[in-house]
Amino acid sequence: MAKDRIVAGQKQEADPEQTGSALRPRMLVDYIGQARLKERLSIALQAVRGRGEPMEHVLLHGPPGLGKTTLAHVIAGEMGTHAFVTSGPALTKAGDLVGLLTKLEARDVLFIDEIHRLPPAVEEYIYPAMEDCQIDFTVDSGMHAKTVTIGLQPFTLIGATTRPGMLTHALRTRFGLSHHISFYPESEIELILQRAAGLMGVIKIKSDSLAALASRSRGTPRVALRLLRRVRDFAAVRADGQFGPGVIADAMELEGVDSLGLDELDRSYLRVIATTYGGGPVGLEAIAATLGEDGGTLEDVVEPYLLQVGFLARTRQGRCLTQAAAEHVGLPWREPQQPSEALFG
């Protein structure tokens, strides 16, 4: 499955962060990178703490694996409260949301991942909860119907989404703070790896080793930490715990992850455009059919990183391979046959 790839930004069951990891930063000072977001949060947090208010509702958007859940825990840590984590698809009926909201204590954080997938019937209940700390519940129906209002403790909603465009206007405008989280530069991924390696007790690290891992992490902390765990195991079993560039290269080769963090699915995707479709332009569905994968999955889990590293051009006529991509996978390259906006302006 495309989503089980070691380089996937999406959460996986086996990621220890899913069970509340000791590696997760608890306070803003421990959170590496995203300097502007941290500054915005730090100002808002100091201001609301000074006034004795709950933190404003925050909407975080951007690719998966960049630390949106972690930030919810950090915000709760800074407020001295707890974070409760759920997701849009998990809240199938209004009662699921009401159950969560009523157990929150003052200034607690409710984190809703994939908030764009919240069913409309549930979303309706969120508006008065966010605005007036109350939920209006209708009991009975027809002429006996009556509205019961339940009061809530003041709380902070952190919504996370990879698709901010899919949020309703009504929901989007109820967040006091909205911020896009982008991929991390390699230097920051290296710092995240250093911190994690220290906490994991990986002591035999040679200098520069973590840079070799950072460059394969696709700018994504979740991927970086997953690769670190694989290399730690490899080093323990095959290299007496030694953790140098050679060991990293061997471990990554075994995992099928190349020097830029591309895996076999990425390379197959690029090869299909290069060989089956002459470098493009080609439609997503044609690529998906050739690979035997779902088009939506390719769009969500393969294309974002290839676009980010400049290996793929998306034009109105279809997807095109870039020269850099052809060189990386060792295939010949020629100019796409039809004029396309991305290449010819």
Catalytic residues: 68-69, 113, 162, 222
Residue 38 within binding range of ligand ADE, rule CB under 6 A: no
Judged on CB neighbours under 10 Å (0-12, 13-18, 19+), 126 is buried
Q: How many positions of this chain bind ligand ADE (CB under 6 A)?
A: 9
Minimum CB distance to ligand ADE smaller for 78 or for 293 = 78
On the CB side of 40, CA atoms within 13 Å amount to 17
Residue 70 within binding range of ligand ADE, rule CB under 6 A: yes
State whether the Cα torsion 87-91-97-100 is positive or negative.
Answer: negative
Which candidate, 127, 53, 169, 83, places its Cα nearest to that of 135? 127
Residue 33 within binding range of ligand ADE, rule CB under 6 A: yes
Minimum CB distance to ligand ADE smaller for 30 or for 285 = 30
Residue 221 within binding range of ligand ADE, rule CB under 6 A: yes
Residue 305 within binding range of ligand ADE, rule CB under 6 A: no
Q: What are the counts of helices (DSSP H) followed by strands (DSSP E) for the chain?
A: 15, 9
Minimum CB distance to ligand ADE smaller for 40 or for 195 = 195
Residue 81 within binding range of ligand ADE, rule CB under 6 A: no
Pairs from 38-47 (Cβ < 8 Å, separation ≥ 24): 40/177, 40/179, 41/71, 41/74, 41/75, 41/78, 41/177, 44/176, 44/177, 45/75, 45/78, 45/79
Least distance to ligand ADE, CB of residue 224, Å: 8
Only one of the segments 29-37, 50-58, 198-206, 303-311 lies at the binding site for ligand ADE (rule: CB under 6 A); that segment is 29-37
Minimum CB distance to ligand ADE smaller for 33 or for 64 = 33
Residue 31 within binding range of ligand ADE, rule CB under 6 A: yes
CA distance 269 to 298: 9
**Residues in region 179-218 near ligand ADE by CB under 6 A:** 192, 195
Minimum CB distance to ligand ADE smaller for 31 or for 155 = 31
Among 6, 25, 150, 215, binds ligand ADE (CB under 6 A): 25
Residue 67 within binding range of ligand ADE, rule CB under 6 A: yes
CA distance 121 to 98: 12
Least distance to ligand ADE, CB of residue 73, Å: 10
Among 7, 32, 152, 288, binds ligand ADE (CB under 6 A): 32
Minimum CB distance to ligand ADE smaller for 155 or for 305 = 305
Tokens standing for 50?
């000074």
Residues with Cβ within 8 Å of residue 73, at least 6 apart in sequence: 24, 25, 26, 83, 109
What are the distances in angstroms from CA 303 to CA 134, 174, 186, 266? 42, 31, 20, 8
CA distance 78 to 25: 11
Amino acid at residue number 142: G
Only one of the segments 31-39, 92-100, 173-181, 280-288 lies at the binding site for ligand ADE (rule: CB under 6 A); that segment is 31-39
Minimum CB distance to ligand ADE smaller for 32 or for 110 = 32
Whether 109 contacts 158, CB under 8 Å: yes
Residue 69 within binding range of ligand ADE, rule CB under 6 A: no
Least distance to ligand ADE, CB of residue 81, Å: 20
Q: Which residues bind ligand ADE (CB under 6 A)?
A: 25, 31-33, 67, 70, 192, 195, 221
